[in-house]
Structures are given as C-alpha cells and as structure tokens.
Structure 1
Amino acid sequence: MAFTRATGKHRRPSRAVRVGANVAGIATLSAAGVVAGVAAPAFAASPEEAPRVQDTGLTQAVVISDHVADSVDEQAQMQRGVAEQDAATQKAEDAAKAQAALIKKRADEAKRKAEAERAEKERAAREEERKRLNTFVMPIAGSFVSTQYHASSGLWSSGSHTGVDFHAGEGTSVQAVGAGTVVEAGWGGAYGNNIVIKHNDGTYTQYGHLSSIGVSVGQTVTPGQQIGLSGSTGNVTGPHLHFEARTAPTYGSDIDPVAYLRSHGVNI
C-alpha cells in the first residue's frame, strides 16, 4: 500500500497520511508487538477491505505514545525541579552550617582571649600581692631614729640599747614593718605593752612601750597594718616607740634594726 499526497510545494500532509506514515514507521521498526500485529492485516487487505486508518487502533496507539512522551517529559521536569530544590536546600543548609561554624569559632576565640586576659590579670594580681607582702615599711610613717642601736646608758639592764627608738608622741599609729604572724602581744616588763611579729623570712620584730595593742597572738598582719599606738609604758622617760629586729623571738637575739630595714628596701 502506498501513501501519496499532493505535490504542492507547501501543502501539509493530511491527518490520514501522517497517521499512515507513523504506522508504516512503527510496523517497520517493530519486529513484534501490539502495533506491528495490528498494522500487518491492514497492509495485507485489499484496498476495498482495508479499514480506514482512523478506524484502526493505530491512531489511538500513536496518541497514547505522544501522551506517554509528554508524561515522561513532565516527570523529568518535575524530577529536575525537585533536584534543583534539593540542591538549593542543601546549599542553604551548608551555608548555615558554615555561618554557625564561623560564629562558634569567633566565640571560642573570644572566650580563649578573655580567659587568657583573666589569667594574666590574676597572675599580675598575685605578683602584686607577693611584692606587697614582701615589702617592708617604717614602723611609724615619717618618723626618725631618736636613739641609736647599741647606745650606752644605765637605763638599760644590758648596758646598751638593744634596738632603736623612733620619735613619736602619745597615741601615734604603729604599723607592722612587714607581713607576718603575731607571736607575742601583751605586757613585756621593761618593754611595757609590746608586740613581737615573726616575718615570712624567719626574722622577728618587736614594738615596745605601746599605749594600746590592736592585735592578738596568732593573727597575721600585712606591711603597714596598724597594730597599736605608741606610748610610754614600761621603763621609759617619755613617749616613743622602741623597735627591735631579732633572729629569734627572745631577748638577746637582736640585730641592727636600721641595717635590717634597709636590707628590706626601707629608706631610712
């Protein structure tokens, strides 16, 4: 069976011709199957017996094939759309994770910096406190030595002065020359009211003739802390502070108080 069409230069083939051509193509390409099986009798029949193309199942088969193709295209487009949406979602999630990681990194860096600064401040504070505790001061601020160490006089039972006297009126503030622990606080015979402090370097200092005592045995003191008031208790001729430096808490272990204070950085 031959398919013919007008030879007009621009005339489009009729629907029957197009369908016939499609059927012929399908019959040729298909070695078996529904389409080939339906097409074979159509070609074998005489022109009078041949059913019209549009009355066969071929038109429906071709239309169905177009519909399937369109459905496949739509499904492919939907799949591409889903894939693109998934890719966009993943990209957004990755960007959010990267931003969160950056924020966490900056927060961790800020935390480490703050901790380092705090540690440095604490170290500096400890160092400052250590220096402060190792600092020595005058027992009476702004005073001066009125009687020298080892001065001779019958006023002292040993025949010489075992400490130095600092000029002070009655009730002047007396302060610990350095950090330490009070080992004696009370009446000291010829020393009157007196205080003895053991310092962190193992040396001792004594403060005598006080009018009042402001610390107790076992109490720790810091440099410059007020421990009592000057006076004239004990064997004295007037108010002042008797100050001694010792290698032991007992009488007779005295050392030069001025040299002692100078060795600890006191300008005297």
Structure 2
Amino acid sequence: MSKRATFQHSRRPSVSRVRGAVVAAGLGTTMVLGAGAAFAAGAAASAPDTASLVNTAAAESVAKQATVQGKAAQVAKQAVAKKVAEAKKAAKKAANLATSWEAPVSHYQLSASFGNDGSRWAHKHSGQDFAVPIGTKVEAAHSGVVVKAGPNGGGDGPAYGNAIVIKHSNGMYSQYAHLSQIDVRIGQAVQTGEKIALSGNTGNSSGPHLHFEIRTTANYGSAVNPVMFLQKEGVTV
C-alpha cells in the first residue's frame, strides 16, 4: 500500500464512529423534542380554559345585573307603598274633615250666649258671640256649600252686617255675622277649617266680635243653641 492510500484511509471516518454520531444526534433531537413536547403539554395543562373564563364572567355579570335590578325593584316597591300610605292618610283626613266640626275662630272669649236678653236685639239672642279683634280669621265650622254671602246679613237684615250662611250635608246651616271681609261666594263649596272671612264690627254691634248661629234652615228664626250643638259633635267652646 502506498503512502497516499494509507493517508486517505486514515482520513476516512470509521463506520462505527459515524454510527455513534448519528445515534447521539438522534438522542439529542429526541431529548430536545421531548422536552419541548413536555413543556407544551405542561403549558397547555396550566393554561386557563378560555370558554370557562367567559362563562364565569358572564355569570358574574348576570348576577350583578340581577342584584341591581332587585334593589331597583325594592326601591320602586317602597316608593309605591309610601304613595299608597300617603293617599290613604289624605283620604282619611278628607273623610275626617267631611264629618268633623270645629269652632269658627281661635283664641276668643265668649260674650253674649244663645237665648240671652239684650239691648242689641229685639228677641232672645239667636247665636253665640265670640269676642275677637277685627280682622281675626273666620273658618267654616263644617264642610258645606255657601248659600248666603254679602251685606245686609246676606239677606237676613241689616242687624247682622256682612254675613255668610253655609248649608251642611246633615241638613243644618251655620251663620257668621258682623264680618269685616267676606272671602267666599254663593254656591262655593268649603271644607272644615277653611278661611271664609275676617271678623269685624258691622251691623248692629257694640264691639268687635263674631256672631255665630246654627240653624235648621237658611233663614233667620230657625236657630238652635250652637254651643250645645257643637258639644254633641265633640267640640267644646
């Protein structure tokens, strides 16, 4: 064998060395691929389920909306209940006003009483006098409809001065006389406690006061004792 042949033979790798390299390379590739697959598998296992997250978020949103709507419904229910209670209270108050009576003035002193003799009237005194300053608010003693209002006693004569007569649902009438100002008109409906006039000293009067009568008709001559009538209605004067 020549030197050249010997040299070429020495440079050619042995079959066993090539095979070893290939096996090593294969093992390395397998290890690398295996590690990558293992990492990918671990990442997939640890990554959250997107669909599950979406469903959870949707459920939480629905729950929050339901809570908000529930609170709004509760507030609305409370508001309705409050309005119903207020309406019932107003209706009860209106019913009480429709059936209740009261004194026609406040902060008064009683002067001439029903049935008394006096120099200012020809017969027995037909009402109850409430001594009050001129300009005192006069209120309707009971709900009803105004049937007389004006000077000359509203038609009952000049002795009454400016006067008002109100017809009530129980068939009785109330009269208010010697007024300085009339604030209602014939045909007007009034409620218990509503302002109808200001007291005065008009007509046959020796001093400021309100003359108050309870009548069985709208006209003079049908008066009954107003104090006793009010007492029967639960009003003490």
TM-score > 0.5 by shorter chain: yes
Q: Helix, strand or coil: the match of 1:250? A: coil
- Matched residue, 2:197: 227
Higher Cα Rg, which structure: 1
Shift in Å, 1:171: 4.4
Q: Could you tell me which runs of 5 or more consecutive residues in structure 1 were left unpaired when the two chains were aligned.
A: 1-13, 16-73
| Corresponding letter in the other structure for 2:104 | P
- Matched residue, 2:126: 162
Shift in Å, 1:169: 4.6
Pairwise mapping of residues 1-268 of structure 1 onto structure 2 (< 5 A)? 84-132=49-97, 134-152=99-117, 156-157=121-122, 159-187=123-151, 188=153, 189=157, 190-222=159-191, 223=193, 225-233=195-203, 235-268=204-237
| Cα shift readout 1:69-114 (whole Å, capped 9, x = no counterpart) | xxxxx9xx98x99993223212221222122122212221222122
Shift in Å, 1:228: 2.6
Could you tell me whether the CA contact under 8 Å between 2:179 and 2:197 is conserved in 1? Answer: no
Of structures 1 and 2, the one scoring higher in RCO (CA 8 A, sep 6+) is 2
| Corresponding letter in the other structure for 1:231 | N
> For residues 92 and 237 of structure 1, do their structure 2 counterparts lie closer, same or farther at Cα, with a shift above 3 Å needed?
closer
TM-score, normalised relative to structure 1: 0.59
Matches of 1:183 and 1:116, distance apart in 2: 41
- Give the superposed CA RMSD: 3.5
> For residues 226 and 185 of structure 1, do their structure 2 counterparts lie closer, same or farther at Cα, with a shift above 3 Å needed?
closer
> For residues 110 and 213 of structure 1, do their structure 2 counterparts lie closer, same or farther at Cα, with a shift above 3 Å needed?
closer
Runs of 4 or more off by more than 6 Å in structure 1?
Answer: 80-83
| Corresponding letter in the other structure for 2:103 | M
| Corresponding letter in the other structure for 2:139 | Q
Matches of 1:151 and 1:225, distance apart in 2: 29
TM-score, normalised relative to structure 2: 0.66
Q: Helix, strand or coil: the match of 1:114? A: helix
Q: Helix, strand or coil: the match of 2:124? A: coil
| Corresponding letter in the other structure for 1:151 | N
Shift in Å, 1:240: 3.0
Matches of 1:239 and 1:106, distance apart in 2: 62
| Corresponding letter in the other structure for 1:140 | V
Matches of 1:125 and 1:180, distance apart in 2: 19
Could you tell me whether the CA contact under 8 Å between 1:170 and 1:232 is conserved in 2? Answer: no
Shift in Å, 1:231: 1.0
- Matched residue, 1:30: none
> For residues 169 and 103 of structure 1, do their structure 2 counterparts lie closer, same or farther at Cα, with a shift above 3 Å needed?
closer
Could you tell me whether the CA contact under 8 Å between 2:98 and 2:142 is conserved in 1? Answer: yes
Matches of 1:171 and 1:118, distance apart in 2: 39
Matches of 2:64 and 2:138, distance apart in 1: 64
Aligned length: 197
Shift in Å, 1:153: 5.3
Q: Could you tell me which runs of 5 or more consecutive residues in structure 2 were left unpaired when the two chains were aligned.
A: 1-18, 21-39
